[in-house]
Structure 1
Amino acid sequence: MGGKGSAKRKVKSKKSGNPQKQGQGRVGAGVRNDNRGAHYERSQVVTNGSMTATTYVQQYAPVPTALDALPALPQEFTGRADDLAFILGVLDPERPGGGPAVAVLSGWGGVGKTTLAYAAGHAAQRRGWFTGVLLVDLRGYDPHPAQAEDALEALLRSLGVRPEHLPPPGAGREVLYRSQLNAREAAGERLLVVADNASALAQVQPLLPPGLHGMIVTSRDALAGLGRMRTVNRLQPEDAVALLQAALKKNDPDDVRVGEDPGAAERVVLACGCLPLALQITAALLAQDPGQPLAERADALSQTEGVLDGLSDGHRSLRTMFDQSLERLSPQEQDLFRLLSLNPGPDIATPAAAVLSGQPQAATERLLGRLAASHLIERNPVARGRWQMHDLLRAYAHEQAQAVKARGRDPRRRYEQAHTRLIAYYTEHAAAADTHFHPPGSVVSSRFADREQALVWFDAERENLIATAHTTPQAGRALGFALGFYLDWRRRLQDHLVIRSLALDACRTLNDTRNEASAWNNLGNVLQELRRFDEAHDAHETARTLHQQTGDTHGQATAWNNLGTTLQELRRYEEALHDHETARTLYQQTGDTHGQATAWNNLGTTLQELRRYEEALHHHETARTLFQQTGDTHRQATAWGNLGNALQELRRYEEALHHHETARTLFQQTGDTHRQAMAWNNVGTAYRGLGCFEEAVEAGQQAVGMLVEAEDWFRAGEGWGELAMTLTAAGADPGKVRDAWNESAAAYARVGADEEAAASRAHTDNPEILEE
């Protein structure tokens, strides 16, 4: 038989030169070796005295196997306990339920999938589950990925199959591979196959081991259908810091930079996205510059522009890793990835992404799913239909978009048009949602079914909307007005301040005097909520002046109303009374019943501060009637509560309790949890007046719990103070009373409030400020 591995026989004949030796028989033998691991045996036989036959037999030594292929783990490996537990649960030969022992690890490039697979392999071997490990790198994201037949050849060689016994590429190799593994299993062996860096099912499926053998697959894509899937995420910050420290100490055991400045170390790892590859590159750069403080490195990495330049050490590059993933995508997928960098906020909904792409929503969703499967974006784990991108990938996508825009006028124009469409989408939807917060009788957009649906949309898009407001003056003006009611409703006061300030700046930039007056008014309102009363007063005075200049009587009425509420807080009650009366008169002139109701309500709260409770009752009853006429349930609740406050001051506690409970119910119906909390507080004080201390304590506790949750620390201070007085009146343990007063003081301290002045208020009044 021919072939490189067959025995070779060489026969040569010659005439004997010694006739005397004819007929004598002699056997001789010798051995020689070559450098290929083969040995040759020679034998000579002399017969009939005339012919000599020499035979050479070539025999190969046994081909060694490679069943200990796992590299040692880097000493900085850390923070993967949950992932390891998952993989070992899949590989455990005693696992419940059986099924293939195949774990598929996916995640974006540089997240540490390969090292995790090695760690799992070592752990499984320590448990005695496998007698050997086969390792193959499929190079799935290289320009020329390994094909399945190449991987099968490498695995068969590792199993000890000689090259001359390898079948040609095709099904024969897969059959031989399974046969070899079956034979190993029959001999009592169990092998683990690690298929690293796969990019397609076709690379891996022929490698799936039969029987009791196990497999770990790593990929940047979600390869469904192979086995149990696990997404490998970034490290937790504390684990990332531990990795950075270990990597630095591996180079220099005396490197103490992490220990000396843990705050800067945390900044470094967060700038690296807690990504193991980025951390290892950063550690290498820090090792090359042992004098560089971590704070300096953190500052460099925190620069949005060029952040990826700081994540290359000459041998490894995060940008190259991202390039490899992007190049595998279709042109449409690549284009959408770049376009997503135009979204100003942290995540994006499928409809907004469709606006960016200019494609139908269903087609866009398919593209987004492919990007998520490639781990270039992620599905939002909380909100379905929303997609997010890590900051480093966002920086990379932005680079890619800028590169495309630089190719010429048409690409640049297309990206600018996409950005304009997205801004229009956010501003138009925000304006539509805002209509559900306007007074009854206002035009309501049909884009949202009701206020609840509008709230859900606002909650989901809040960060995108605020970020969009920073993009252009037009967007700042539009969103500065559209977000106000919502942010006040949700008690997002810092966001509210930012958005109102942006609206004012935008109106000035655009020379929009009419809307500038309204912007000043709205800014004054949020300053009131933040208890910055002097600034609020100045803002409302400016609004009033601008409305007077433009001849806007209704705007003047609103400014007078809000000036009055500010003056109440400044304890300038006589002036406040004048301002609310002026507002009422102007609302009457413009025929605004709802505005009149607000002025009547605020006149009542001012009269209460002046201790003119009978008059206050009349004003609040008038306000309640007018709010009922306009169908404003929410402000009816406010009027009911203020009536209750006046009745308490008149010691008519039974009536007061009824009014406060009615207010609480109406606030609950309208979904205003903040005002519900204030109503609970008033219910408690009414119960205390009736001597029903158990009910009073329960209501007070409910109030402070809700106010703390809303982070309204001033009113939480009021609530704790009321609860302390109830506990005192009930003869409660002095320790509990003291604790309640301490909680009250702590809450006031958080907002820098005057505790004595705040505590002097027996209950919370509810003046109304008006947005424009």
Structure 2
Amino acid sequence: MTWADGREGGDPEVVLGVLGGLEVRHGCEIVSMGHGRQRSVLAVLAVEAGRVVAVDTLIDRVWGERPPSRARSTLRTYLTHLRRALAPSGVAIIHRNAGYLLTAEPHIVDLHRFHQLLTSARVQQDSERALDVIEKALGLWRGEPLAELDTPWAQAIRNRLHLERAAAEADRIDWALACGWHRQVLPELATAAEAEPLDERMAGQLMLALYRGGRQADALRHYQHTRQRLVEELGTEPGEALQELHQRILIADPTLTPSDTTITGGSSAVPRQLPAPPRWFTGRGDHLAALDTALKRRGTVVISAIGGAGGIGKTWLALAWAHRHLDRFPDGQLFVDLRGFSPDGTPTDPAVALHGFLDALGVLPDRIPVDLEARSALFRSLVAERRMLIVLDNAATAEQAVPLLPGGTTCTVLITSRRRLPGLITRHGAHSLPLGVLTDTESRALFVAALGPDRVADDEHATAELIALCGGFPLALGLIAAHAQPGLPLKEAATELRESGLDALDADDPTASLPAVLSWSLRHLTEHQRTAFALLSIAPGPDIGLPAAANLTGLPERETRAVLRALADASLIDSRLGGRHAMHDLVRAYATTLTHDLPDLVREAALERVTDFYLHTAHTAHCLLTPDDESVRPGLPSPGVYPHPLPDPPAAMAWLEAEHHHLLAAQRTAVTHHRHYTVWHLAQSLSAFHLRRGHLDDDLAVWHAALNAATHLPEPTTRARARRYLGIAYLRLRRHEEATGHLHRALALAEHHHDTTQQAGTHLDLAQTWELRGDDRKAMKHARNALDLCRTLDNATRKAEALNAVGWFAARLGDFDTARSHCQTALALHRHHNNSEGEAATLDSLGYIDRHTGHHHQAIHHYRQALTLLRTLGHTYQVASTLDHLGHPHTALGQHEQARAVWQEALELYREQTREAGAQRIQRQLDYLDNTLTTAPDDKFR
């Protein structure tokens, strides 16, 4: 015995009915179930057929809040009578687990059979078959369900069943309209629509029936009536589905014309909707392989290209891959541009996209449901078990794409979007495929594909420049290639792009204009997000971290993090390791144009905050690295600036390392905006770090800028310090003449303003300069002058540095007793005041003294102690020099392998620091070591 699902045996006999009054049939006879309460007990058990109902639950559902005093005894009596009455029908009531269970199969009870038929109807692909089944389901209703029960439970069941019946009636109307029965359903539709004037689905059905019956004016009039009621009573416009139907009726869309052909008559169509493959597609080998891997997995595959901005090549990748695998999709390919980011800014309604898919699948227009969910269900039914490819291009949101996803496990879906679509990944098992720029090799291959190998080979220099200027951005590369097609020399194309920038990538056609394509991504952003996007383009440095971004935008870090995440989701910025974010150069160029739309005060305040953030955090780091340095403190930061906290020297070094490029850029920004104090203080705050890491050229550049800034500052000490530190920068680069000139001018300024501290420091710097120029006696004279001046200062660290300098030059001049005495005194002072950097320098000096007095083991001991301190400080510049010195006592003791090891490490550091003279000398020492046991001569480079 079966029912309306196409199996053999016909319809079953309904033995027990609750939809419109309880009755039990046995054959053609209605079996009496006794009085009202006894019948109510059976009704409750019938609703829960096949499930145990606890005794207390049964009592509550039958009597509600007023059960009889002996409810359990009464219930047992009722159940005894019911068992006796049901016995001929084969239905039984059994006691189980402190409750009772009706053993009837679900299809024996009309309520459960209604649900089975309803489910069966909704999976039918044939509208006529579905209509037949739904009418059988609705035919089971004979009145008010559970009419004899007035308990809260019964009322809830009735309410739910009425909603289910209304939905089934609406489905029946859809299928009747799909079968061309508009005239038959029009009377009942008119009555129902009058009773439910705010039901948009019903309004759409009535409009369609009226239109198909030749009453176009009535259909349009009913739309206006429905719209007016919605606006007046709910304050809302009709939904998109009803609006779309209204527009189609207005233009007399021929696809609304009814047909007698069934839906299955066209469902065998094999759509081939893919656009042509991209002509110039190149590269993307890893991404194509990732798509191949995803295809091999069983189950629906959804790939979302979320890693790139507009114009990054997402659609090209999808189409190129799809055309390479057409044989894997013999049942067809569907393609829709969802217009999530398009010129008119209006994303495609999923219902409209589904209409196009259903049409391509052969569904006749009058068989396409009006309701979105009904369309989606029909689409899933039609593609079930088919091997199809569905390309959803340019999706705005996951919600837009979800109704277009097939069911089953045979279809493959490619989704491209500028936004990250995490909902597809978490809820639908999508495979995420971030897409970035092309490599230089791939970019060149695109030019070769577009322009031909000969033309590219004829001007490799211009090709290389164009590739660099485009930065691997496929749309930019394609625009340049298209622009050069008529015969424009590549050299001229490069010149135009170099000089015109983003303007060279603009065009009248918005789809072929990089600025226009990028602009479409902004439509989904909030005002805060658009402002942040513009400000990020003028932030100093190649990328930005969260603390700097918060200072730039003036937002709390929590809000800034959300803004950055939104911009990354929109593929306008890239998220990188360490919580940093970056823009492609062309995206940055576009964003920079948006800053002109910001008020000047907003833009200038943002730059002031971010440069102050870098300055004050850098100053904190400098003070941690050189706690005894008498640096000039910068003034208070601008309002709304929150420097990054740095707890200790290692944290300071790590922050300076990570932000070095941004600090240099911040100084350049300050120069451009004439923030002279910021320029000067950034140079001061970077000096110790530059020495420790050997960034000598950068140090020279920042102090040149600082000296220029100092001419605009009122404090004379800024000019003296700038001269002095610029001299030191020249000194470390072995540019002795410039070093000496700047240091003498610094000394003159210090003497003129009676700045004893700067005088002493400058004398020490001049001592190093004359040492490197080969005049140790002049060097000693400056060292002694420095010591004399330091003895008048209340600064033990300065005094220790001067003592070490005198000791060092005494050793250079052969007076080792004086040298050792001064250096040991200096060492004690440095250790007492915890000056690790000064201690390391003095240990290095003692190592030199020990070596030249024949105490090679003691020299190695002192050098090793110095190295330990220097490595802890991160002072790689001085580590290289001390390793250089350490090799000599090892060599003197015949410890050639140890000497070779330390010199090899020194050689690598010298090369990293571009200290060519030191690297060449070390290489000679290594060569000398390989050929002779004689100690190579050495120099002191400090």
- Do Structure 1 and Structure 2 share a fold, with TM-score over 0.5? yes
Aligned length in residues: 664
Distance in 1, matches of 2:868 and 2:400, equals 63
Instruction: Kindly state the Cα deviation for residue 245 of structure 1 after the two structures are TM-superposed.
Output: 2.9
Instruction: Check the 8 A contact 2:767/2:782 in 1, yes or no.
Output: yes
Distance in 1, matches of 2:780 and 2:914, equals 31
Q: Deviations over 1:495-546 (max 9, x none)?
A: 1111111101100133543211100110111111111111111110110011
Match of 1:51 in 2: none
Q: Alpha carbon RMSD of aligned pairs, Å? A: 2.6
Letter of the aligned partner of 1:326 in structure 2? L
Match of 2:165 in 1: none
Which residue of 581, 587, 612 corresponds with 1:387?
A: 581
Match of 2:471 in 1: 273
Which residue of 130, 139, 142 corresponds with 2:339?
A: 139
Match of 2:797 in 1: 594
Distance in 1, matches of 2:608 and 2:791, equals 42
Distance in 1, matches of 2:611 and 2:516, equals 32
The structure-2 alpha-carbon separation of the partners of 1:145 and 1:135, relative to structure 1 and needing over 3 Å to count, comes to same
Residue 438 (str. 1) matches residue 626 (str. 2): yes
Match of 2:608 in 1: 420
Listed as ranges, the matches of 1:287-366 within 5 Å are 287-288=485-486, 290-292=487-489, 294-303=490-499, 307-315=501-509, 316-366=512-562
Instruction: Kindly state the Cα deviation for residue 691 of structure 1 after the two structures are TM-superposed.
Output: 1.4
Aligned identity (percent) is 30
Residue 110 (str. 1) matches residue 311 (str. 2): yes
Distance in 2, matches of 1:424 and 1:676, equals 32
The structure-2 alpha-carbon separation of the partners of 1:588 and 1:152, relative to structure 1 and needing over 3 Å to count, comes to same
Counterpart of 1:71 in 2: which secondary structure? coil
Listed as ranges, the matches of 1:635-646 within 5 Å are 635-646=838-849
Instruction: Check the 8 A contact 2:331/2:388 in 1, yes or no.
Output: yes
Letter of the aligned partner of 1:396 in structure 2? Y
Letter of the aligned partner of 2:353 in structure 1? A
Residue 581 (str. 1) matches residue 779 (str. 2): no
Point out the structure with max Rg over C-alpha. 2
Distance in 2, matches of 1:729 and 1:760, equals 9
Q: Deviations over 1:147-191 (max 9, x none)?
A: 111111111222222222211132111111111111xx2xxx411
Counterpart of 1:383 in 2: which secondary structure? helix
Distance in 1, matches of 2:810 and 2:331, equals 88
Match of 2:388 in 1: 191
Distance in 2, matches of 1:536 and 1:87, equals 61
Instruction: Check the 8 A contact 2:270/2:331 in 1, yes or no.
Output: no
Instruction: Check the 8 A contact 1:285/1:313 in 2, yes or no.
Output: no
Counterpart of 1:264 in 2: which secondary structure? helix
Listed as ranges, the matches of 1:594-743 within 5 Å are 594-729=797-932
Instruction: Kindly state the Cα deviation for residue 695 of structure 1 after the two structures are TM-superposed.
Output: 2.6
Q: Deviations over 1:203-232 (max 9, x none)?
A: 111112222211110000011132011111
Instruction: Kindly state the Cα deviation for residue 139 of structure 1 after the two structures are TM-superposed.
Output: 0.9
Match of 2:374 in 1: 172
Counterpart of 1:622 in 2: which secondary structure? helix
Instruction: Check the 8 A contact 1:683/1:699 in 2, yes or no.
Output: yes
Counterpart of 2:276 in 1: which secondary structure? coil
Q: Deviations over 1:251-291 (max 9, x none)?
A: xxxx8442122222121122122111111111222224x24
Counterpart of 2:302 in 1: which secondary structure? strand
More moved, 600-609 vs 211-220: 600-609
Q: Deviations over 1:16-63 (max 9, x none)?
A: xxxxxxxxxxxxxxxxxxxxxxxxxxxxxxxxxxxxxxxxx9879958
The structure-2 alpha-carbon separation of the partners of 1:577 and 1:275, relative to structure 1 and needing over 3 Å to count, comes to same
The structure-2 alpha-carbon separation of the partners of 1:130 and 1:511, relative to structure 1 and needing over 3 Å to count, comes to farther
Counterpart of 1:359 in 2: which secondary structure? coil
Distance in 2, matches of 1:442 and 1:551, equals 16
Letter of the aligned partner of 2:357 in structure 1? L
Distance in 1, matches of 2:177 and 2:870, equals 91
TM-score, structure 1 normalization? 0.81
The structure-2 alpha-carbon separation of the partners of 1:604 and 1:761, relative to structure 1 and needing over 3 Å to count, comes to farther
Distance in 2, matches of 1:657 and 1:171, equals 82
The structure-2 alpha-carbon separation of the partners of 1:257 and 1:598, relative to structure 1 and needing over 3 Å to count, comes to farther
Instruction: Kindly state the Cα deviation for residue 65 of structure 1 after the two structures are TM-superposed.
Output: 3.1
Instruction: Kindly state the Cα deviation for residue 673 of structure 1 after the two structures are TM-superposed.
Output: 3.0
Match of 1:369 in 2: 565
Counterpart of 1:160 in 2: which secondary structure? coil
Q: Deviations over 1:447-488 (max 9, x none)?
A: 421111112221222222211212232321121211111122
Letter of the aligned partner of 1:383 in structure 2? G
Instruction: Kindly state the Cα deviation for residue 403 of structure 1 after the two structures are TM-superposed.
Output: 2.3
Match of 2:291 in 1: 87
Instruction: Kindly state the Cα deviation for residue 615 of structure 1 after the two structures are TM-superposed.
Output: 3.3
Instruction: Kindly state the Cα deviation for residue 111 of structure 1 after the two structures are TM-superposed.
Output: 0.5
Instruction: Check the 8 A contact 2:393/2:415 in 1, yes or no.
Output: yes
Instruction: Check the 8 A contact 1:65/1:157 in 2, yes or no.
Output: no
The structure-2 alpha-carbon separation of the partners of 1:181 and 1:129, relative to structure 1 and needing over 3 Å to count, comes to closer
Counterpart of 2:792 in 1: which secondary structure? helix
Letter of the aligned partner of 1:179 in structure 2? S
Residue 73 (str. 1) matches residue 274 (str. 2): no
Distance in 1, matches of 2:260 and 2:683, equals 89
Which residue of 210, 214, 219 corresponds with 2:417?
A: 219
The structure-2 alpha-carbon separation of the partners of 1:425 and 1:58, relative to structure 1 and needing over 3 Å to count, comes to closer
Letter of the aligned partner of 1:176 in structure 2? L
Counterpart of 1:375 in 2: which secondary structure? coil
Which residue of 686, 695, 702 corresponds with 1:492?
A: 695
Q: Deviations over 1:693-717 (max 9, x none)?
A: 2332233323323433444333232
Q: Deviations over 1:718-754 (max 9, x none)?
A: 32233233323459xxxxxxxxxxxxxxxxxxxxxxx
Distance in 1, matches of 2:305 and 2:432, equals 6
Letter of the aligned partner of 1:393 in structure 2? V
Counterpart of 2:271 in 1: which secondary structure? coil
Q: Deviations over 1:598-651 (max 9, x none)?
A: 222222332333333343333322322222232212221221122111221222
Instruction: Check the 8 A contact 2:267/2:361 in 1, yes or no.
Output: no
Instruction: Check the 8 A contact 1:644/1:659 in 2, yes or no.
Output: yes
Residue 204 (str. 1) matches residue 431 (str. 2): no
Letter of the aligned partner of 2:535 in structure 1? L
Distance in 1, matches of 2:864 and 2:178, equals 97
Match of 1:450 in 2: 648
Instruction: Check the 8 A contact 1:88/1:124 in 2, yes or no.
Output: no
Distance in 2, matches of 1:179 and 1:64, equals 13
Instruction: Kindly state the Cα deviation for residue 105 of structure 1 after the two structures are TM-superposed.
Output: 0.9
Match of 2:480 in 1: 282
The structure-2 alpha-carbon separation of the partners of 1:178 and 1:572, relative to structure 1 and needing over 3 Å to count, comes to same
Which residue of 523, 543, 559 corresponds with 2:726?
A: 523
The structure-2 alpha-carbon separation of the partners of 1:169 and 1:269, relative to structure 1 and needing over 3 Å to count, comes to farther
Distance in 2, matches of 1:236 and 1:320, equals 24
Match of 1:45 in 2: none
Counterpart of 1:687 in 2: which secondary structure? helix
Which residue of 400, 403, 425 corresponds with 2:597?
A: 403
| 5+ residue gaps, structure 2 | 1-127, 129-175, 183-258, 425-429, 634-642
Which residue of 352, 365, 369 corresponds with 1:163?
A: 365
The structure-2 alpha-carbon separation of the partners of 1:615 and 1:268, relative to structure 1 and needing over 3 Å to count, comes to same
The structure-2 alpha-carbon separation of the partners of 1:172 and 1:442, relative to structure 1 and needing over 3 Å to count, comes to same
The structure-2 alpha-carbon separation of the partners of 1:395 and 1:578, relative to structure 1 and needing over 3 Å to count, comes to same
Instruction: Check the 8 A contact 1:284/1:313 in 2, yes or no.
Output: no
Instruction: Kindly state the Cα deviation for residue 584 of structure 1 after the two structures are TM-superposed.
Output: 0.8
Match of 1:27 in 2: none
Counterpart of 2:577 in 1: which secondary structure? coil
Distance in 1, matches of 2:485 and 2:800, equals 71
Counterpart of 1:589 in 2: which secondary structure? coil
Instruction: Kindly state the Cα deviation for residue 3 of structure 1 after the two structures are TM-superposed.
Output: 6.9
Instruction: Kindly state the Cα deviation for residue 248 of structure 1 after the two structures are TM-superposed.
Output: 2.3
